[in-house]
Amino acid sequence: MSVRMIEMRLPCERLEGLKKRLADYEPISMSALLDEDRTHAVLRVLVPQRRVEAVLDRFEALSERYDDFRMTLYAVEVTLPLPADEVEAEDKGKDVIADSSDQPLTARLKSAEESKAEVDRLSRVELHARVKKNARVNAEYLLLVLFSSIVAAVGLVQGNIAVLVGAMVIAPLLGPNMALAMAATLGDFRLGWQAVRTGLTGVAMATILGVLCGMVFKVDPSLPEIANRTRVSELDLLLALAAGGAGALAVTSGVAGTLVGVMVAVALLPPLLVAALLTGAGQWSGAYGALLLYSTNIAALNLAAVVVFLARGISPRRWWDKARARRAAWLFLAFWSIALALLAALLVFQNRQLAL
């Protein structure tokens, strides 16, 4: 069972009241440490991951209201003795529900509401911090784009699929796209603008490098690794949708993203570099097909990512922010759905032209 530690620094006079309120969430353990002057205390609370968001949402207002209250969230690798297994906890919960038929209606509604608030994923705060970190334009991001583009360009020119997979392991374009989908889900326009700026910077850098490589090296458009990315089919659309959903699911679950990054990179970096290489080589028809594939993949990937984020229950804390985020998510879904429909129409038109 995944566990998180929430550390709270607060005045000593609020300590006992906070402990009583935290007991409603059945923490694994609680411990308090007083400062030397005994005016402030540090309360450390171990809670299951599925309850972190509910705890943070309930007490976040205190950190906004009082300057002397602060919460810090830590990931816990292991804690001993081990917490009760989730299956046993679920069985216990079922027994409690079965025995609570005589409880008042208000108590049962409160219990149902608390159960609904539990989410088996990373909390919104953790997700936002991780996604924002991966959507920054810095030297590390630019170097990753540069290196992955060089490796992918060499793999495409040589027709070496092993080298191409090596470039996709780096997957620098995954971060901005996941950040853009997260921004649409939360209605965070600042994060959205940051994601767009970072994504366009990476795309521009990879495109310039690909065009230069296409002008310098001999590009054979008949190589399978290049030719397969100049034609768009329904299977490519299905791949992009699956990649977007898998990427968003990996982000929310907190699992290792290397393999998922490879899957998403299949839909992003190779078609972009094929379009750039063929443009540099003067192969305009093939470049158009690869650009159409890349655009289709971007639309499908972001559409699937937002759907997964919404399905996982990611939303802001305040009700007025929830309303704004809901509008932003629907606008985002409508935009990418329309874009995907238009690109699909171009796909059908191009396939008919090729068939003639």
pLDDT tens per residue, range 234-257? 787 888 888 888 878 888 877 655
**CA-CA distance, 215 to 343, in Å (whole number)?**
28
- Asked whether residue 270 carries a pLDDT value surpassing 50, the answer given is yes
Q: Which of 292, 149, 153 is nearest to 219 (CA)?
A: 153
Assigned token pair, 109: 């509604």
Instruction: Please report the pLDDT score of residue 259 as a whole number.
Output: 54
Q: Supply the pLDDT for residue 215.
A: 92
Average pLDDT score over the chain: 81
Say whether pLDDT at 335 is over 90. yes
**Is 211's pLDDT higher than 80?**
yes
Residue scoring higher pLDDT (8 or 171): 8
Q: Work out the average pLDDT over 71-87.
A: 77
What are 182's strand-pairing partners? none
What is the model's pLDDT at position 198?
A: 93
Q: Assess whether pLDDT exceeds 70 at residue 194.
A: yes
pLDDT of residue 98: 45
pLDDT at 210: 92
Between residues 107 and 26, the one the model is more confident about: 26
CA 251/CA 243 separation, integer angstroms: 12
Tell me the average pLDDT across 5-32.
Answer: 89
Region of 4 please: left (phi>0), alpha (psi -120 to 50) or beta: beta
Question: Can you give the pLDDT at residue 96?
Answer: 43
- Tokens at 250, concatenated: 């990996």
pLDDT-derived band of residue 331, with 50, 70 and 90 as boundaries?
very high
- Tokens linked to 350: 């191009």
Angle between helices 52-65 and 105-117 (to 10 degrees): 90
Nearest one of 346, 145, 159 to 265, comparing CA atoms: 145
**pTM of this prediction exceeds 0.75:** yes
Higher pLDDT, 227 or 234: 227
Question: Looking at residue 87, what is its pLDDT?
Answer: 44
SS (H, E, C) the chain: CCEEEEEEEEEHHHHHHHHHHHHHHCCCEEEEEECCCCCEEEEEEEEEHHHHHHHHHHHHHHHHHCCCCEEEEEEECCCCCCCCCHHHHHHHHHHHHHCCCCCCHHHHHHHHHHHHHCCCCCCHHHHHHHHHHCCCCCHHHHHHHHHHHHHHHHHHHHCCHHHHHHHHHHCCCHHHHHHHHHHHHHCCHHHHHHHHHHHHHHHHHHHHHHHHHHHHCCCCCCCHHHHCCCCCCHHHHHHHHHHHHHHHHHHHHCCCCHHHHHHHHHHHHHHHHHHHHHHHCCCHHHHHHHHHHHHHHHHHHHHHHHHHHHHCCCCCCCHHHHHHHHHHHHHHHHHHHHHHHHHHHHHHHHHHHHHC
**CATH code linked to domain 3-117:** 3.30.70.120
**What pLDDT is attached to residue 50?**
84
Could you read off the pLDDT of 276-316 as tens digits, one per residue? 999 998 899 889 988 988 998 899 889 998 998 998 888 88
What pLDDT, in 10s, does the model give residues 84-141? 655 454 555 544 444 444 545 444 434 444 444 466 777 888 888 888 888 888 898 9
Cα separations (Å) of 71 from 33, 55, 98, 125?
Answer: 15, 11, 36, 11
Domain boundaries of the chain, sorted by first residue? 3-117, 124-355
Confidence of residue 195 (pLDDT cuts 50, 70, 90): very high
Task: Calculate mean pLDDT across residues 35-51.
Answer: 87
Q: Are 77 and 10 in contact (CB under 8 A)?
A: no
The pLDDT of residue 108: 42
**pLDDT at site 207:** 94
160: left (phi over 0), alpha (psi -120 to 50) or beta: beta
